[in-house]
Structures are given as C-alpha cells and as structure tokens.
Amino acid sequence: MSVRDLLRVHGKPTREVYLDNENSGWVPKEVVEAMLPYFNSIGYGHPSITNRPGWEAFEVLEETSELIAETLRGDKEDVNFVHSGTEANNLAIVGSAKANRGKGRKIIVSDIEHYSVLLPAISLEELGFKVVRAPVDERGFVLADVLSELVDRETLLVSVGMVNHEIGTIQRMRELVETVKDRNPNAIFHTDACDAYARVPIDLSRLDVDMLTLSSHKILGPKGAAVLYVREVEVQPILRGALSSQTLWPGVENVPAIAGFRKAIELAFNDLEEKVERMASLRDFLIDSITSSVSDCMLNGPSGRERAPDNVNISFLRVEGEALTVELSMRGVYVSSGSACTSRILEPSHVMLAIGRKHEEAHGSLLLKLTRYHELEEMRYVSEQVRESVERLRSISPL
C-alpha cells in the first residue's frame, strides 16, 4: 500500500498532537510572516552585490548574526551561515581536519554523536586520520576520565554534542572541554548544540569551545538555515564555488530562511527561562504518566535537570517501535521510533546500543519532543493513547 493509499484509507484523525520535532515540525505564523517579504518585496537580491536589494539581504545576515552572538555571548564575526545542521557539522569536522592536518591525526567523537558528526569523521580515515569513539555511561554522559586518557599530542579534534538528540542528555560541557584542553591545549573542540540552543544556557564567554553548530528548524524556525560558529580556528571550505558575503560556504545565502531563523530566535528567547521550565514540567508529566501506567517500560537517558526540557525517550518491551509509531499516528499522535535519523532503516539506534540497551529495547523505543506551544491536556491525551496502543499491540504480539 502506498503512502497516498494509507492517507486516504485512514483519513485525518479528529485530534492531533505533533511530537516529532527532532526530525522536523511546523513553523509559527510569526516566523512565516517574517520570511514572506524577502521572497519578492525586499532583500531578494544577492547579499554581496552593491545594489539596494543586495544591501537589504545583507542587513538580514548582519542583524541575525548580531542576535545569535548576543544569545551566545559571543562575537557576530564568528557566525557563518549554512543551510542545515548537517552541513555545519560536516564543515566543522572535515573543514577543520583538512585545514589543520599537520597538527595531528587523531579525531575523537563521542559514541552517541549525531550521524552528521560520526560519518564525516569516519570518512576522514581515508585520508589517514584515526577516529576514536569516546564511550558514555548508561545515561549518556561522556566518561571524562576515559576521554582524558584518549586525548594526546596527536589529538587534532574532539566533537561532543552539548545535548544528545535522542535521549536528551545534557553533557557536562565545561568539564569535558577543560579535560581536553588540559591534556592538549591545541586540540580543537567542536560541539553540536542544535538540541541545546534555546533549551539550555550557552555562554561562550565561559565555555572554551572552538566551534559550535546551531540549526533553525530545531527551534521552530524554517528549514534551510543553520550556523557554524567558528572562533580562532582555521577551517577549510568543503564546497567550491563563487563566494558570497562569507568565506566558509559558497553560494547565495538563504535570506528568507535566515530572516525566519531570526524571528524564531526572538520568539524562543523572549521569557526563555519561563518557557524552559514550562517545557520541563510537561516533559516530567509525560514521563511520569507513561511510566506509571504502562508496564515493562524504561526511560532512556537521565531525568530532571540533567535532561533537555523537551525530550522524552521511553522503551517498551514486547512492542516493535515502528508498529507503535503507526498505531499512534492513526490516533493523531505523531512521534518517531528508535533513532530519529534511521526511522526508515530497521536497525537499532547506535545511541541506544551505546548506553547499554539491548536490540529489542532499542527497537521498542519512542522519541517524543515537545515544544513551548504544547498544553497539559495534550500530554494527557498522548499518555492515554500510548498506554492504549501498547496494550493493543502487546495483545496481538506473538511475544
């Protein structure tokens, strides 16, 4: 049965709750409205061309850079626009390795990094680099003592995500950065902060990272805009083409998307602490209500303030995660299973395996990511539908 047939047969549910914000999501109307003028009214020119539409486009880049730098307590000159977090991570890993290959050949990444960090790092083995994966504990925290043993004079680059995209672990970043820099002050430290931005505090005046990745769609902005923040580190462009207003990424910047990114940042950071606390409260309600009403389930990752405020990841024994996502979709609850980046590949999440989950536990996991727009009543509905869906699937399972 085709996707079109599925949609026609099952129809649209009477109630819908979208919790697949790890992968993609809707965009608030204020963000859409902020983008619209830049398609055909203002700023539709090339940001590096000296005419009025070009100046207007360049102003969007400047104002967004200033806003991002303000929220990070950094420098706007270090902001580089690309089109996705995947592009930013590839540029960070491959670009810095190629530019600094004479300073070392070892690259260290954590065992639970996003594939847009892991795969570029592995690709560098073809060029003679050695890639080492730093282990994590059962809650997803990188083991600082082991990391310290891995770092040596040959270590060129270390990349550890600030918040894990699947299980929400908030890494102890200052400790990890200091561990690396104490062992090798010349080692470059990159962090993928896509799932941290506007959820956990980021203060680059106190955190000695060299590169940092952000993504628009992870904060309810449009797809098509992201940032690689680069301090005093040499990075070699990995794409070739005509340069625009910046040197690390050729081609024309996606000005409408960057304008939407700017509005999404403004919305997210307005009363940020209140929004984060509210999300954390909804997260805890959802975790508690599901784990107390469904037998044989387990929370993946830490709890409380060590967990991202928007992240819920629970494994259900004797249930196939893909079947559960379909069942919930028919009930209007939209989530993802296993690894959000491998949902169409029936392999267990590498993150789940890294924290010690068995294959069947990884396959039976659900990832739910809420937003500041969700309501308590929606969480009640989701919890009820999860319970009923698990019970139904278990009742027909041969297991």
Catalytic site residue 341? yes
Say if residue 187's pLDDT is above 50: yes
Range 147-168 average pLDDT: 98
pLDDT tier, 175 (very low <50, low <70, confident <90, very high otherwise): very high
State how far the Cα of 25 lies from the Cα of 138, in Å rounded to an integer: 29
State how far the Cα of 329 lies from the Cα of 11, in Å rounded to an integer: 11
Say if residue 343's pLDDT is above 50: no
All domains in the chain, ordered by first residue: 3-19+272-396 (3.90.1150.10), 29-269 (3.40.640.10)
Range 96-120 average pLDDT: 96
Pull the structure tokens for residue 346: 């029936």
DSSP codes joined into one string, 52-95: HHHHHHHHHHHHHHHHHHHHHTS-GGGEEEES-HHHHHHIIIII
CA contacts within 13 A on the Cβ side of 250: 8
Task: Name the least confident of 5-19, 33-47, 82-96, 134-148.
Answer: 5-19
Q: Chain-wide mean pLDDT for the chain?
A: 94
Say if residue 183's pLDDT is above 90: yes
On the 0-12 / 13-18 / 19+ scale of CB atoms within 10 A, 269 is middle
Range 143-147 average pLDDT: 97
Range 344-358 average pLDDT: 84
Alpha helices in the chain (DSSP H): 3-10, 29-35, 37-40, 52-72, 85-90, 96-99, 115-123, 144-150, 173-183, 255-269, 272-293, 321-330, 350-354, 359-363, 376-396
pLDDT tier, 4 (very low <50, low <70, confident <90, very high otherwise): low
Pull the structure tokens for residue 385: 């539908």
Q: Which of 187, 207, 268, 341 is catalytic?
A: 341
Its sign, for the CA torsion 385, 391, 396, 398, is positive
Please state, as a whole number, how many other Cβ atoms lie within 10 Å of the Cβ of residue 306: 15
State how far the Cα of 196 lies from the Cα of 225, in Å rounded to an integer: 16
What pLDDT does 397 receive? 75
Site of tokens 């991570």:
89
pLDDT tier, 25 (very low <50, low <70, confident <90, very high otherwise): very high
Q: What does the pLDDT look like over 200-219, one tens digit per residue?
A: 999 999 999 999 999 999 99
Q: What does the pLDDT look like over 310-333, one tens digit per residue?
A: 999 999 999 999 999 999 999 999
Q: What does the pLDDT look like over 264-303, one tens digit per residue?
A: 999 999 999 999 999 999 999 999 999 999 999 999 999 9
Range 63-90 average pLDDT: 97
Whole-angstrom CA distances from 228 to 211, 271, 388 are 7, 25, 43
